[in-house]
Amino acid sequence: MNDNKSLSHTKYNCKYHIVFAPKYRRKVFYGEKRREIGIILRKLCEYKGITIIEAECCPDHIHMFVEIPPKYSVSSIMGYLKGKSSLMIYEKFGNLKFKYRNREFWCRGYYVDTVGKNAKKIAEYIKNQLEEDKIGEQMKINYKEDPFMGSK
């Protein structure tokens, strides 16, 4: 299978796994906000010609598996996505302005990894991320409640 895309003088296959979170890692992505952030990020990626292969919005972070054309750097795309999306989020949900100072919705940093030949595994990981988070939370709760393990 040929995954190569092309620009006028370039053939490329640039895929990245990106993870980023809201400021203070607050759990804000539920219901309407979760749906709206998905719409906003899809729209912004579409404007720049970025293909979203797989994405998942967890309560306190976002996973994206994207294909970015080589004319853009990953850092410039992340600045664009986080900057524009925060303005759009504050426009849609005005009450969030009071939780985050100076309209800084996202954390400054992010995680990025080049995908290479592991594309299927990473897509599957992102697809199952929400379930893995739920299992991890249940394990923490059960560990704290176990009378034989002592309290933590």
**DSSP collapsed to 3 states, 2-49:** CCCEECCCCEECCEEEEEECEHHHCCCCCHHHHHHHHHHHHHHHHHHC
Report the percentage of the chain scoring pLDDT > 90.
32
- The CATH classification number of 5-116 equals 3.30.70.1290
CA distances to 41, 43, 83, 120 from 70, in Å:
19, 20, 21, 21
- Per-residue pLDDT of 30-57, as tens digits, reads 778 888 889 999 999 999 999 999 998 8
- Per-residue pLDDT of 60-85, as tens digits, reads 889 999 999 999 999 999 999 999 99
Domain ranges of the chain: 5-116
Helix (H, G, I), strand (E, B) or coil at 57: strand
Q: Which own/partner pairs from 33-37 qualify as long-range (CB within 8 Å, at least 24 positions apart)?
A: 33/89, 33/93, 36/89, 36/92, 36/93, 37/62, 37/85, 37/89
What is the reported pLDDT for 97? 64
Q: Kindly indicate the confidence band of residue 149, based on its pLDDT and cuts at 50, 70 and 90.
A: very low
47 is catalytic: no
Question: Could you say which of 72, 80, 90, 125 is catalytic?
Answer: 125
What is the reported pLDDT for 66? 95
Examine the pLDDT at 21 and tell me if it is beyond 70. Answer: yes
- Per-residue pLDDT of 95-138, as tens digits, reads 766 666 666 788 889 999 988 777 788 888 888 877 766 666 65
